[in-house]
Structure 1
Amino acid sequence: MAGNAEWLAQVKEAALEPALPIIDPHHHLWDHPGSRYELDELLADTGQGHNIRATVFVECKAMYRAGGPENLKPVGETEYVNGIAAKSASGQFGEMRACAGIVGFADLRLGHKVDAVLEAHLARAPERFRGIRHASAFDPSPDVRASHTLPPKGLLGLDTFREGFARLAKFGLSFDAWLYHHQIPELTSLARANPGTTLVFDHFGGPIGIGPYEGKRAEIFAQWKKDVAELASCPNVVAKIGGINMAVNGFGWHKRAKPPTSDELVAATRDWYLHSIDVFGPERCMFESNFPVDKLSCSYGVLWNAFKKIAQGMSAAEKAWLFHDTAQRVYRLD
Structure 2
Amino acid sequence: MALELELESWRQRFLDSGDDRDLPIIDAHLHFWDPVANYHPWLCDEPMIAFRYGDYSAIRRPFLPEEYRQLCGEHRVMGCVYMEAEWQTGEAIAEARWIHELHQRDGWPNAMVAQAWLDRQDVEAQLARLSMWPMVKGVRHKPASLPRSEYRPDRAEALPGSLGCPNYQRGYAALARHGLIFELQVPWWHLHELVPLLERHPEVPVVINHAGVPGDRDPETLRGWEAQLRRVAAFPQLMLKLSGIGMAGESWRIEDNRALIHTAFEVMGTERCMFASNFPVDSLVTDLDALFSAFKELSAGLSREERLALLCDNAMRCYSL
Normalising by the smaller structure, the TM-score range is 0.7 to 0.9
Shift of 1:137: 5.8
| Secondary structure in 1 matching 2:106 | helix
Q: TM-score, normalised by structure 2?
A: 0.80
CA contact (8 A) 1:246 1:293 kept: no
Alpha-carbon deviations, 1:162-203, whole Å to 9, x = none?
111111111111011001121111123322222110000111
Are residues 286 and 269 of structure 1, via their aligned partners in 2, closer, same or farther at CA, if it must alter by over 3 Å? Answer: same
Residue 23 (str. 1) matches residue 26 (str. 2): yes
Alpha-carbon deviations, 1:58-92, whole Å to 9, x = none?
01123x5xxxxx6x422111111111111122xxx
Are residues 222 and 153 of structure 1, via their aligned partners in 2, closer, same or farther at CA, if it must alter by over 3 Å? Answer: farther
Shift of 1:31: 1.8
From 96, 102, 114, give the equivalent of 1:78: 96
Structure 2: how far apart are the matches of 1:42 and 1:303? 13
CA contact (8 A) 2:215 2:245 kept: no
| Secondary structure in 2 matching 1:31 | coil
Structure 2: how far apart are the matches of 1:42 and 1:138? 32
| Secondary structure in 2 matching 1:157 | coil
| Secondary structure in 1 matching 2:62 | strand
Q: Tell me the equivalent position of 1:44.
A: 70
Moved more, 297-306 or 238-247: 238-247
| Secondary structure in 1 matching 2:267 | helix
Alpha-carbon deviations, 1:119-152, whole Å to 9, x = none?
22233x22x1100000126333799xxxxxxxx5
Q: TM-score, normalised by structure 1?
A: 0.77
Q: Tell me the equivalent position of 2:128.
A: 119
Are residues 137 and 290 of structure 1, via their aligned partners in 2, closer, same or farther at CA, if it must alter by over 3 Å? Answer: farther
Alpha-carbon deviations, 1:34-56, whole Å to 9, x = none?
5221222222223x110111000
| Secondary structure in 1 matching 2:183 | strand
Residue 236 (str. 1) matches residue 237 (str. 2): yes
Are residues 76 and 239 of structure 1, via their aligned partners in 2, closer, same or farther at CA, if it must alter by over 3 Å? Answer: same
How many residues end up aligned between the 2 structures? 273
Structure 2: how far apart are the matches of 1:305 and 1:136? 32
Q: Once the two structures are aligned, what percentage of the paired residues are identical?
A: 30
Moved more, 37-46 or 322-331: 37-46
Shift of 1:268: 0.8
Shift of 1:205: 0.8
Are residues 81 and 142 of structure 1, via their aligned partners in 2, closer, same or farther at CA, if it must alter by over 3 Å? Answer: farther
Residue 285 (str. 1) matches residue 273 (str. 2): yes
Q: Tell me the equivalent position of 2:83.
A: 58
Are residues 140 and 228 of structure 1, via their aligned partners in 2, closer, same or farther at CA, if it must alter by over 3 Å? Answer: closer
Shift of 1:208: 2.6
CA contact (8 A) 1:138 1:153 kept: no
Shift of 1:154: 6.4
| Secondary structure in 1 matching 2:70 | helix
CA RMSD of aligned residues (A): 2.2
CA contact (8 A) 1:197 1:236 kept: yes
Structure 2: how far apart are the matches of 1:270 and 1:154? 34
Residue 306 (str. 1) matches residue 294 (str. 2): yes
Are residues 141 and 325 of structure 1, via their aligned partners in 2, closer, same or farther at CA, if it must alter by over 3 Å? Answer: closer
Structure 1 unmatched ranges of 5 or more: 1-15, 65-69, 90-97, 144-151, 210-215, 254-258
Q: How does 1:197-276 map to 2 (within 5 A)?
A: 197-209=204-216, 217-247=218-248, 252-253=249-250, 265-276=253-264
From 192, 196, 200, give the equivalent of 1:189: 196
CA contact (8 A) 1:157 1:190 kept: no
Structure 2 unmatched ranges of 5 or more: 1-18, 36-43, 45-59, 151-158
Q: Tell me the equivalent position of 1:107.
A: 117
Q: Which amino acid aligns with 1:25?
A: A
CA contact (8 A) 2:26 2:80 kept: yes
Q: Which amino acid aligns with 2:75?
A: H
Q: Tell me the equivalent position of 2:57.
A: none
| Secondary structure in 1 matching 2:199 | helix
| Secondary structure in 1 matching 2:34 | strand
Structure 2: how far apart are the matches of 1:73 and 1:296? 26
Structure 2: how far apart are the matches of 1:137 and 1:18? 41
CA contact (8 A) 1:27 1:57 kept: yes
